[in-house]
Structure 1
Amino acid sequence: MNFVSWLLVIISFAYSSSLCVVSKIMKSKSRLLGTKIKKLIALKFIEMSADLLSTSEFAELMEEVSFLTNLEVIDKDSLFHELYQKFPRIEKELKEVFIRVSLVNKIDYLAKDLERKAFVLRIVAGLMFISVLGLVAYFDFCPYISILSIVQYTTTGLMIILPLIVFDSLKTLYRSDKIIRDFLREK
């Protein structure tokens, strides 16, 4: 094997190793998102829901409607007027609760996506290293055999597709980092 072949093998090994490290980081962030942060946000959602049903404007309004319904003396005009006055505050409280629900769902999806892409990234790292070894072996040992040109084209196709998979995985990792930073900043 010549110098270029050795250099190519060493670079591909280093790149595959770095992809495995990134995969391990993605898997640990997936666990972090799936367990700790998701549970903390779910607890915050439960607290907000309890507050919404006990001490918020919404709870006061429901209490008044219940009281007036029991008395059967409902002045519809004053009730609607009061509803319209309190609606922006109630809407804000409900929106905060629903934001928490959507955040929990988003984090759950992101954790599963991170775990799946970490697995794919490990496969990509292995395929890429094997592909480079195959190319080096092809060019060094048997460049004149025509049946192995299929191996060359397949490997070249893999080399074109694999960076796209890596880029997509790194984009998912960036999104998870952003959510974790935002959560820690909010906390």
Structure 2
Amino acid sequence: MAQRASTPKNKSGSEFDLHRTVVLVGMMGSGKTAIGKALSARLNVPFLDSDAEIEAAANATIAEIFERDGEEFFRRRESEVINRLLSGAPCILSTGGGAFLAERNRTVISEKGVSLWLNAGLETLWERVRHKTTRPLLRTANPKQTLTDLLNARLPIYQQANLVVDVDGGFSIEETTEAAIAVLLGRPDVLEKNNAL
């Protein structure tokens, strides 16, 4: 079937057509925000962050919500926000490190979007989070051990993601973004090149 060059398949004039929301999952420090923003710019779609949306709705930081209301309350709000954001137009959605652990979140992500796991090893993660004070789960006597335990516990669940990009090895944001696009193009139901341009 011939493509008509005069009418692009999407209004944005983008090089790509995104059909489903890409939900970035993985540990804190895996680069979900940085890669998410770069990916949204390359694909010319919005970037949303579930943690930022929760903070805006609660008028409080994630750390404050954890301290004031507890993790269970936070996880319920997180599920509500992810479901709401997945109901909108296709975008890049960054989620908190624990979001993918809940089966209800994995279910709605697979129904309405696609999960892309940014797979980073312990040393990469530790290097990125060790000086941050915004990680409530790492406010422990031995934060590196806590990070190790979290990673070990979460790996089997992250491995259930639809797609994966390895982010170890000192790759730049641009290189990782291109790797993510290549993986996404392997799923034409998620991302296609806009051949009309």
Task: Name the one with the larger strand percent.
Answer: 2
Larger radius of gyration: 1
- TM class by smaller structure: under 0.3
Task: Name the one with the larger helix percent.
Answer: 1
- Name the TM-score, length of structure 2 as normaliser: 0.24
- Name the TM-score, length of structure 1 as normaliser: 0.25
